[in-house]
Amino acid sequence: MILDEIAAYAIQRVATAKELFPLEKLRDAALQLPKKQRFKQALQTKEMSFICEVKKASPSKGVLSEDFPYLSIAKEYQSAGADCISCLTEPKWFMGSDEIFRTIREVVSTPMLRKDFTVDEYQLYESKMLGADAVLLICALLDTRTIAHYLEICDALGLSALVEAHDEAEIESAVQAGAQMIGVNNRNLKDFTVNFENAARLREKIPANVLFVAESGVSGTKDIACLKAAGADAVLVGEALMKAANRSALLEEFRRAAL
């Protein structure tokens, strides 16, 4: 399964990073930074919120942008009124990097999610040092106790955490761990098929006081309307925006479809 391969590679990446900069020093530096919960606050609106993603490639679709002008893409998202920006830092399958994230962070003020595959608390401190406002925690990779521990670290750092689930058992794990934002991935990571009925079915399992984010698979306004009807508080959109000739116009279409 591709998720297992990505996680194994993430473990290797963390081991290398620890050799260059020990956990203790990283933790001490990260805890000194200001603590602001901007990401979650940005999604707490009456209307559906939009998390717009910056990514060069994905395992399911390959390379999405050959030239990949990530800085101009992020600026366009901000100008178009994106509530938050998601940026991939996974280097092998998504062709992202910490440097891409850091460069974008320096020029946009919009709250940012560092989207990577968290397998070690080291990455939480890394994310804070990069200027992230939020991190991704995937239930398929982390048990309930680990998620709860990572959420405690996030609270200490002033980071929001988007906890991703795919089924009822993972929703239950996220809720038990204390997640305040739960993302339902509409894409099956085994065969990459997309099913929005999954989000609708799992919505009732998520407490009313927990933000519900629908992730992946959005290709048009009909999908947005479907997810709005399913009760999504926010939608994370990547591929559709990355491939759009006019990202600002498409985001505006999505907003209208969500009304």
Residue 40's contacts (CB-CB under 8 Å, 6 or more residues apart) are 134, 160, 180, 181, 211
The catalytic residues are 53, 55, 115, 164, 185, 215-216
Q: How far apart are CA 198 and CA 168, in angstroms?
A: 10
